Chains A and B, each alone.
Chain A
Amino acid sequence: AQSVTQPDIHITVSEGASLELRCNYSYGATPYLFWYVQSPGQGLQLLLKYFSGDTLVQGIKGFEAEFKRSQSSFNLRKPSVHWSDAAEYFCAVGLLDSNYQLIWGAGTKLIIKP
């Protein structure tokens, strides 16, 4: 069955340090890939997406993600985090053989140390 795994429930990073959030998927083809961010009590905001082409994609707020086919991964990165990046981050995949469905990871909560 298709699935999305975000191995880290929580990650704590010092302000100004680099960040990498992991996302792995299980699917027989290359899906459509998304990263979203959710601030407490809010809805989700799209950070970036990957459909095809260059495997390194740039998003909003200084985030980028790299698709690695061999590892079925789509990890999110940021060179230097700011306190305002504290939020929950969700990876999602869109299936090629579905006309609506996104499969969601369980999320990673990012905590920023001052």
Chain B
Amino acid sequence: DGGITQSPKYLFRKEGQNVTLSCEQNLNHDAMYWYRQDPGQGLRLIYYSQIVNDFQKGDIAEGYSVSREKKESFPLTVTSAQKNPTAFYLCATSSQGNSNQPQHFGDGTRLSIL
């Protein structure tokens, strides 16, 4: 979606390093989500935020952290505690945090271990 920008497109992490993935949206959506995608699996929810200054853990939050200081931005930090971070990370938004709202996706960040 043109309204959701994820950066960088590719990211490499060294052992013991924290890295931060950026997600910015100009859709004026309230809700934002981070998913992890591994080959042969569906999307797994890491964190989600329904409003500014509030966020909740998803199914696989261990080793990750987020912040939601602005409506437009929802950065994801992959910490050194995440022992298997190699994956494709997708940021999504929806107009409201309801399960009947379609989610709109960025183009993803591919994270690899050096």
Contact = CB atoms under 8 A, between A and B. Distances in A.
Interface of A: 4, 9, 31-32, 34, 36, 41-46, 49, 51, 90, 92, 94-96, 98-102, 104-107
B41 A106 contact: yes
Interface residues of B, number: 29
Interface of B: 1, 4, 6, 31, 33, 40-45, 48, 50, 56, 90, 92, 97-108, 110
Contacts of A99: 50, 97-99
A90 B107 contact: no
Contacts, number: 71
Given A100-B97, A104-B44, 11 more contacts: A31-B99, A36-B105, A41-B110, A43-B6, A45-B1, A92-B42, A96-B99, A99-B98, A100-B48, A102-B103, A107-B40
